[in-house]
């Protein structure tokens, strides 16, 4: 036991020392002549470069055609210009490069990892440029991808954890663009056509709706050339308008769905915060204490450790471009579902009223600051962090000042921020499982 504690202490000290001595990478930023925003972090050591192009083209831009953003993103690299999927894969494999695409609620991306050798990098960039600019959206590929998506949607209907998440977002967001799942529903995916994808790509995969992030062992001039090359095949286009703010439901009613399972999945919460919320750090550190630090968090201690209601219980803020959800989650035995929900909500209520203790606050800060370096310990992780900073217009010194802002959070900050945003008496609750009759 002593050895384990000693090991944990040594690890914590190592993390703190590492975080304090860690040189935070500097982000360079410029806008291309055609209006594309570029974020560049030069690194040294490995002859690699990671590139990510982020578009304001996530599922929040689906309109009424739920699933359109995900389907468009998923088909980008299945054929472009003169190349089919095999030819694209072969070109990338020959130069040791990797390309991936994806879409989330706010954004869609194309990422590329390549060696920096000029000839190999040239082939990788030319391939990515073609994938971005001239996707085929071949009808056969579209049919195959739709079938795969429809199968996934059908399987999703057999998973109570998926159903509770969908019901929770719908209850929280109503008709807002965040309300539907990124992959859509059977009835919205089935009628999607090639023309839908072509139109979506034409409108949203444009220079003024794009951000280019480059992290790797290249010079600034090389990064400028890379960004211009990747954007050269895209039209200038227009940036997308802001998303509407979601409207809070002041009198939420419980949502309950019966499901033949021995466990009941529970979510409770309400609208939380935007990425650029002025109280971001107070809410972030506070939630780390409340339900974001695993088994030692308050919610987990009350629900799991003291009462054995669930294997895990948590809470988190999911900050987005507009207010993302604040969410408390647990999975419990059917006969303990209602009791577990009440315990979790009471824990939130106590925290909102009383705030954290000195000991909790100090431990939380040490844990967050100590783990900060692990968020940046690879080029790929760094690329993801910079892409988030760029997409959400966070300040360029966000990484430099992160630990300082965490350390500056006080108990009063947390108490005030939680009281201003979280109303434990009006949380939206959603239950899916055998406890619902």
Structure tokens at 162: 């998926």
Write out pLDDT tens, residues 27-84: 999 999 999 999 999 999 899 999 999 999 999 999 999 999 999 999 999 999 999 9
| Non-local CB neighbours of 339 within 8 Å, separated by 6+ positions | 307, 309
DSSP run (H or E) holding 419: helix 411-421
pTM of the model: 0.91
> Over the stretch 402-431, which tens digit does the pLDDT of each residue have?
999 999 999 999 999 999 999 999 999 999
How far is Cα 336 from Cα 353, in angstroms, rounded to an integer? 26
Least-confidence region, from 10-14, 81-85, 227-231, 303-307:
10-14
% residues pLDDT > 90 (the chain) = 89
Tell me the CA end-to-end span of the chain in Å, nearest whole number.
46
> DSSP string of 348-389?
HHHHHHH---HHHHHHHHHHHHHHHGGGGSSHHHHHHHHHHH
pLDDT digits (tens, 9 = 90+) for 113-161: 999 999 999 999 999 999 999 999 999 999 999 999 999 999 999 999 9
Q: What is the pLDDT of residue 24?
A: 84
């Amino acid at each position: 036991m002593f050895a384990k504690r000693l090991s944990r202490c040594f690890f914590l000290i190592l993390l703190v020392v590492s975080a304090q001595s860690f040189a935070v990478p500097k982000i360079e930023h410029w806008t291309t002549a055609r209006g594309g925003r570029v974020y560049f972090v030069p690194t040294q050591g490995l002859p690699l470069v990671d590139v990510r192009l982020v578009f304001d083209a996530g599922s929040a831009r689906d309109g009424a055609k739920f699933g359109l953003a995900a389907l468009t993103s998923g088909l980008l690299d299945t054929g472009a210009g003169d190349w089919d999927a095999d030819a694209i894969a072969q070109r990338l494999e020959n130069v040791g490069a990797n390309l991936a695409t994806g879409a989330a609620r706010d954004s869609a991306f194309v990422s590329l990892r390549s060696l920096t050798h000029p000839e190999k990098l040239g082939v990788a960039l030319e391939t990515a440029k073609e994938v971005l600019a001239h996707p085929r959206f071949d009808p056969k590929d579209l049919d195959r991808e739709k079938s795969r998506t429809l199968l996934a949607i059908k399987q999703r209907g057999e998973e109570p954890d998926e159903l509770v998440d969908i019901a929770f977002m719908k209850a929280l967001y109503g008709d807002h663009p965040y309300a539907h799942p990124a992959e859509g529903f059977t009835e919205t995916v089935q009628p999607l056509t090639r023309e839908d994808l072509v139109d979506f790509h034409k409108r949203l995969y444009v220079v003024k709706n794009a951000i280019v992030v480059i992290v790797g062992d290249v010079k600034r001039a090389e990064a400028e050339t890379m960004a211009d090359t990747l954007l050269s095949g895209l039209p200038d286009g227009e940036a997308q308008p802001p998303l509407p703010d979601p409207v809070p439901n002041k009198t939420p009613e419980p949502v309950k769905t019966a499901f033949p399972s021995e466990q009941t999945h529970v979510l409770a919460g309400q609208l939380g915060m935007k990425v650029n919320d002025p109280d971001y750090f107070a809410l972030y550190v506070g939630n780390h204490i409340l339900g974001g630090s695993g088994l030692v968090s308050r919610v987990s201690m009350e629900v799991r450790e003291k009462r054995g209601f669930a294997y895990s219980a948590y809470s988190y803020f999911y900050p987005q471009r507009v207010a993302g959800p604040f969410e408390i989650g647990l999975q419990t035995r059917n006969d303990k579902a209602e009791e577990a929900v009440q315990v979790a909500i009471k824990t939130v209520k106590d925290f909102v009223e009383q705030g954290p203790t000195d000991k909790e606050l100090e431990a939380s800060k040490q844990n967050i600051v100590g783990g900060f370096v692990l968020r940046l310990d690879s080029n790929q992780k760094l690329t993801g962090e910079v892409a988030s900073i760029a997409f959400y217009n966070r300040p360029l010194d966000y990484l430099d000042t992160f630990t300082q802002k965490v350390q500056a959070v006080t108990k009063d900050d947390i108490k005030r921020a939680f009281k201003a945003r979280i109303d434990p008496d009006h949380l939206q609750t959603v239950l899916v499982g055998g406890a619902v009759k």
